[in-house]
Amino acid sequence: MTTTVAPTTAAPAQPSGRPRAANFLRMLPLSPAIGLMLVFLAGPIIYCLYAAFTNMALTGTGAADVKFVGLENFRKAFGSGAFTNAIWLTLVFTLISAIIGQNTLGLGLALLMRKSNRIIRNFVGTSVIGAWVLPEVVAAYLLSAFFNDEGTLNVMLHAVGLPGQDWLYAAPIIAVSLANIWRGTAFSMLVYSAALSEIPKEIEESAEMDGAGGWRRLLFVTLPMITRAIMTNLMLITLQTLSVFGLIYAMTRGGPGTKSQTLPLYMYEQAFSFSQIGYGTAIALVMLAIGAVFSLIYLRGLNSEAA
């Protein structure tokens, strides 16, 4: 993700337009890394592209003789209710848990932490980041136990005389979205904390002198100054959330029925439970396209901000 900046040496600054040979030599140390990337990253991706247009399978005819089937996998996907359901759930999951949940909660926490004292800041920061550094499966089990019929949440609700909830079964997509918010908010909080610390104090103070209240300061001063961080953060968490698999799998397996079967889970089921590798990779390509569309939208946002 990060771009490294070449360290400035003590040598006198070179004029731009270095000779080609020097450029080549500077690239040489990078070649092993580029080679590895090509083999281990580009390789599987190209294989994926190939598999998506075949009938490849782990058993049956598609295993014995792999044939090109053109766009058949995509036709089959867009004609199937299960796939439409998965797309819809993926969008719901991404919207609720990333774009609304993690993003606004992260921003809120970052804003509150600016104003609070060190002890509270450390306490909140540690607990939020704690949820983030837990292994995904551990977090999923914790949250399953929390939302379970006899789980912590219902015990607490009953204790204060409220009726219990049954989200894991009745509204599983809500349960896994809440779980993902709990687990992923730390990332947004860190991004926004860093961005907010860049804002010069004087600007906010002068806005205050001009009589702008809290909300107006936030809307017209603070947020515009961190637009770039917002766009970058949105892009990263959207792409992370689109491919969340372990959390949902460990909590609900995509069930009950297909009520929490997002695209990654649908892909896994088709490719590994039902052995349809070709069809599964075609779904993966659709996921890639969805990610690309989101990225483009955010990049446009970054561009317009730069203008």
Shortest spacing between CB 142 and another protein, in angstroms: 19
Please list, residue by residue across 3-17, b when 16 or more beta carbons sit within 10 angstroms of its beta carbon and e when fewer do: eeeeeeeeeeeeeee
Nearest CA-CA partner of 172 in 261, 86, 96 = 261
Q: Which residues contact 251 (CB under 8 A, 6 or more apart)?
A: 140, 143, 144, 147, 168, 172, 175, 176, 179, 260
Q: Does 38 bind another protein (CB under 8 A)?
A: no
Give the number of residues in contact with another protein, rule: CB under 8 A: 59
23 counts as binding another protein under rule CB under 8 A = no
Q: For residue 61, what are the CA distances in angstroms to 48, 132, 253, 305, 307?
A: 19, 44, 28, 53, 55
Query: Nearest distance from residue 162's CB to another protein, in Å?
Result: 21
Task: Enumerate residues 164-223 that contact another protein by CB under 8 A.
Answer: 169
**Which one among 174, 242, 248, 250 touches another protein, defined by CB under 8 A?**
242
Q: Which of 50, 132, 167, 274 binds another protein (CB under 8 A)?
A: 274
User: How many whole angstroms separate alpha carbon 281 and alpha carbon 279?
Assistant: 6
Question: Would you list the DSSP string of 130-186?
Answer: HHHHS-HHHHHHHHHHHHSTTSHHHHHHHHTT-----HHHHSHHHHHHHHHHHHHHH
Exactly one of 57, 77, 143, 178 binds another protein (CB under 8 A); which one?
Answer: 57
Question: Does residue 227 belong to the site contacting another protein (CB under 8 A)?
Answer: no
Q: In one letter, which amino acid is 42?
A: A
What is the CA angle 99-223-204, rounded to 5?
150
Binding residue for another protein, selected from 7, 17, 163, 257, defined by CB under 8 A: 257
- Under the binding rule (CB under 8 A), the answer on residue 280 touching another protein is yes
Between 67 and 106, how does the x/- string for binding to another protein read (CB under 8 A)? ---------x---xxx------------------------
Per-residue CA distances from 255 to 41, 90, 131, 181 (Å): 32, 14, 24, 20
Among 5, 10, 160, 209, binds another protein (CB under 8 A): 5
159 binds another protein (CB under 8 A): no
Among 44, 70, 130, 214, binds another protein (CB under 8 A): 44
Does position 7 interact with another protein (CB under 8 A)? The reply is no
Fill in the amino acid letter for 121: R
Structure tokens at 300: 């446009």
- Nearest Cα to Cα of residue 240 among 262, 218, 223, 221: 262
Q: With respect to another protein, which residue has the nearer C-beta, 217 or 259? A: 259
Q: Cβ 9 to another protein, closest distance in Å?
A: 17
Which residues of the chain form contacts with another protein (CB under 8 A)?
1-3, 5, 41, 44-45, 47-48, 51, 57-64, 76, 80-82, 149, 169, 232, 235-236, 239-240, 242-243, 245, 253, 255-259, 264, 267, 271-275, 277, 280-281, 284-285, 287-288, 291-292, 295, 299, 302-303, 306
